[in-house]
Chains A and B, each alone.
Chain A
Amino acid sequence: MRQIIAIFAKDARRFWLEILICVALLIGLVLVYPATWRMAGLDGVDFRFFGGEGPTGLLAGSLVVLIPIAWLVLIARVIHCERLVGDTQFWLTRPYDWRKLLGSKLLYLAACLYAPFFVAQCVLLHEGGFHPFHHLGGLLFNLLLLTVVGVLPLVALSAITTGFGRLVLVLLGVALAIIAAAVAGSAMPSHATSSLPDIVSGNLALGVIFCGCLAATIVMYARRSAKTAWLLLVALTLVMCSTVFFDLDAALMNRRYPELSSGSTAPVTFAYGAQGKNQPVATITDDKRAVDIEIPMLASGVQDGYVAITEAQKVILTNATGAKWESPWQGSATGRVLPGVQTTWIRLHMRRSVYEQFKSMPVTLRVSFAVTMARKARESVISLPGAEFAVPEIGICQPRRWNLRPDEMMGIDCRSAMNQPQLTYVSALWTQGGCNAGAAEDQNHATTQVWVGELNPGPAEFGITSVWNAQVNLEFPRTNYPQSEQERWSLCEGTPMRFTQYQPTARLRDDVIISGFHLPEPANGIYLKLLLQE
């Protein structure tokens, strides 16, 4: 332990400036970031890493960029202080035990990076109106994510490089490899659509990164075998890049979303929904090599208290000549089907050659939906107060006011702790023509709804800040460019807002067959579709 403390103390003395800068940046974030919550900008504040609009938002955004850079310098400097590559370092012939050396570096990171970061996260939670103790799991999980996606890879890369310049070059190389893989992957038709639900690939990727980087680090500290460590990290990068081409989740979709057993009633049913303005549309992609086809579907049969969430679909096309084409599972812009009949669109991405082959004659279309059923778990009705208020399903919310009429509200801004909230359905009653007392009965009212949050948010989402802005983008009942005061829609103080939280209950696959379907002629881009829908 004496050796660990000695090395730690030596590093802390040597890199006091780097430590000071890191701590100062965190203090700056703690001071600046909460100010952005109170800005309540017109467009809302969608925080991930960046702040909202204006100088304060810009400053907060700059800080969340500068903090990882400061960490990069902090980590690289302390690892390179006892450089592992080379044969002329002073410490190689001193009684350094590699475990103690590694232990001292971990102690340094714990004291100079993790501890200040943890404290900053706690302070931000406190400032945000949350009790840090209630989110201890999320805080620790965020530290774990920080380790896996940030600290450990940087430690491993620092361990195999001789200095900061080399490290930066290697980081650029890794970034280039990822960009190249992403570009190559985007050219594949099956990957051009949104990604599939993250079944295993996300966790597996984190596990692979963790194990690969840990192994490379230990190889370097225990044996100083740079060749082996390089091989490990190159292999790791290749494996990660290869996931662009081989989506492991696609292979697991059938198991994850089992077919309905015969005789059982589908909790949601789909039918071809072309009617009126809702007609299938085909759009040729910019590179002319693929076609996106959007097909309207009618979804119904969802029981009260449930919502059906379509997460992906696959399609099998057959025609009279016996030709057949089967798409891979394609992620879709998630559709959420509530009780009643509802139109939902499926978006199918196919190669141009396949499209040309099938468009000339009617086809039979078998569409498989990957559906997650969620049940209402909790519901609150809150009379919209004029000031900040707590919503059990989301976190802390505050009214968003009209700039010129601060007594009236045009929405709410919410913030949640550690990640986006559990999937919540928010509905609100709007009033047209102002919120003057006593006029409510003879005024127009309308209700709008919006989905907020995620179905499986997990204990924490990786972030520099522990408080997240939950997007509650309630749409105006109609376009809200009022010609007069009487036409303007507002949320009035005391108006009821309903927050309904859903928990996933089951996953299933639901098939629908459409016979005699004609692939639509290509439209001239998205505008034609919009025109048709108008």
Chain B
Amino acid sequence: MTFAIRTEHLGRRFGSTVALNDVNVEVPEGAIYALVGPNGAGKTTLIKLLMNIIRPSAGSATVLGVDSRRVAAGVFCEIGYVSENQEAPDWMRVGEMLRYYRNFYPNWDLELETQLVRQFDLPLDRKLKHLSRGMRMKAAFASALAYRPRLIVLDEPLSGLDPLVRDELIEGLLDRAPETTVFLSSHDLSEIEGFSSHVGFLEKGRLLFQEEMASLTARFREVTVTMDGPATAPAGVPSSWLQVEAVDSVLRFVHSNYHEDESAAELAGFFPAARDIRVDAMSLREIFLAIAKSNRRVEQSEFKASPSLEVGA
């Protein structure tokens, strides 16, 4: 498998603050990889390292096969980058900006530019500084897609946008998806749930896990066991059971390694006296919350090597 992005033990400190620690990200070519995590998790720092905007303190990264520290003019011809934090040449009109950028990309596709302008309904004669936030983001998308980049990197591109604009941008992005790799960050799971093929979860500068979306949603299940009497957690609970909680006669937990064929028998073995065992699919949001909470518990218990970090990795 070839990777559009790959990091090895990547780290970045700002003074005494550790922004990223030992991060190993692998983004297969052709994937739509969503890097999720709460605000301050280190997502933007990771993207800036990949884009060679800042330099790593430890480890290394490759982007389209190039060491991130060497990502420069030539490589940027194949990368489309959009960030909510990036300044724009506000004094330019939209059309002027697109014309200006044409000079930098040998692969600039005029037809595609026209199509994107139409698709996003961009006003070519308006200055960027006079555009709404949504329109500015659309203009940024158009200027980052029109040269058919091999890799599209988006840093919180959809946050704060109204649903209509968000859908338009996602649609524009998915139109390009077959010919490119997308790496985007978000703190809002609902933004990326519908179209991401891979997901990585970053928290406090550490990558807790990364996985294909399909296998992730397949192996996480919420299990509810109802007993006749008071429920207690059985001895020898597997590490793949997260957030085990017993209330009266009900025991609940999240199974992080559920297999349709084997897990039913496993559960029956643990709870032979159960009145009912119910297994429910989980939303991405529920999965992330379960992982995040269990990880915090592990931290609070001062386990240095957290088993939950390896969940599904």
A-side residues, CB < 8 A to B, are 2-3, 5-6, 10, 14, 87-90, 92-98, 100
B-side residues, CB < 8 A to A, are 48, 51, 53-54, 72-74, 76-77, 79, 81, 83, 85-89, 91, 100-101, 103-105, 153
- Contacting pair A89 B87 (CB below 8 A): yes
Q: Which chain B residues border A88 with CB–CB below 8 Å? A: 83, 85-87
- Contacting pair A90 B73 (CB below 8 A): no
Q: Which chain A residues border B51 with CB–CB below 8 Å? A: 92-93
CA distance A92 to B81 in the complex (A): 10
Q: Which chain A residues border B54 with CB–CB below 8 Å? A: 87
- Contacting pair A95 B89 (CB below 8 A): no
- Contacting pair A93 B79 (CB below 8 A): yes
- Contacting pair A6 B87 (CB below 8 A): no
Given A6-B100, A87-B54, CB of A93 within 8 Å of CB of B76: yes
CB closest chain-B residue, reference A89: B87
Q: Which chain B residues border A90 with CB–CB below 8 Å? A: 86-89
Main secondary structure of the interface of B (DSSP, over half): loop
Q: Which chain A residues border B101 with CB–CB below 8 Å? A: 94
CB closest chain-B residue, reference A87: B53
- Contacting pair A95 B86 (CB below 8 A): no
CA distance A442 to B53 in the complex (A): 89
CA distance A6 to B54 in the complex (A): 26
Nearest-CB distance from A298 to chain B (Å)? 71
CA distance A5 to B104 in the complex (A): 11
Q: Which chain A residues border B73 with CB–CB below 8 Å? A: 95-98, 100
Q: Which chain B residues border A6 with CB–CB below 8 Å? A: 100, 103-104
Main secondary structure of the interface of A (DSSP, over half): helix
Q: List 3 A-B pairs, minimum CB-CB distance, nearest first.
A: A6-B103, A93-B81, A97-B73
Nearest-CB distance from B48 to chain A (Å)? 6
A-B residue pairs in contact (CB < 8 Å), sample of 25 = A3-B103, A3-B104, A5-B103, A6-B100, A87-B48, A88-B83, A88-B85, A88-B86, A88-B87, A89-B86, A89-B87, A90-B87, A90-B88, A90-B89, A92-B51, A93-B51, A93-B76, A93-B79, A93-B81, A94-B101, A95-B73, A95-B74, A95-B76, A96-B76, A100-B73
Q: Which chain A residues border B85 with CB–CB below 8 Å? A: 88
CA distance A359 to B74 in the complex (A): 77
CA distance A14 to B79 in the complex (A): 27
CA distance A93 to B155 in the complex (A): 12
- Contacting pair B53 A93 (CB below 8 A): yes
| Other contacts beyond A14-B91, A88-B85, A93-B53: 7, CB < 8 A | A6-B104, A10-B100, A88-B87, A89-B87, A93-B51, A95-B105, A96-B104
- Contacting pair B76 A94 (CB below 8 A): yes
Q: Which chain A residues border B104 with CB–CB below 8 Å? A: 3, 6, 94-96
- Contacting pair B72 A97 (CB below 8 A): yes
- Contacting pair A92 B88 (CB below 8 A): no
Q: Which chain A residues border B79 with CB–CB below 8 Å? A: 93
CA distance A87 to B103 in the complex (A): 23
Nearest-CB distance from A336 to chain B (Å)? 60
Q: Which chain A residues border B87 with CB–CB below 8 Å? A: 88-90
Given A89-B87, A92-B51, A93-B53, CB of A2 within 8 Å of CB of B72: no
- Contacting pair B100 A95 (CB below 8 A): no
- Contacting pair B77 A92 (CB below 8 A): no
CA distance A467 to B38 in the complex (A): 67
CA distance A97 to B104 in the complex (A): 10
Q: Which chain A residues border B100 with CB–CB below 8 Å? A: 6, 10
Nearest-CB distance from B193 to chain A (Å)? 27
CA distance A89 to B91 in the complex (A): 14
CA distance A94 to B73 in the complex (A): 7
CA distance A371 to B103 in the complex (A): 63
CB closest chain-A residue, reference B47: A93
CA distance A6 to B77 in the complex (A): 16
CA distance A96 to B73 in the complex (A): 5
Q: Which chain A residues border B88 with CB–CB below 8 Å? A: 90
CA distance A2 to B101 in the complex (A): 11
Nearest-CB distance from A20 to chain B (Å)? 17
CA distance A5 to B102 in the complex (A): 13
Nearest-CB distance from A96 to chain B (Å)? 6
Q: Which chain A residues border B83 with CB–CB below 8 Å? A: 88
CA distance A362 to B100 in the complex (A): 83
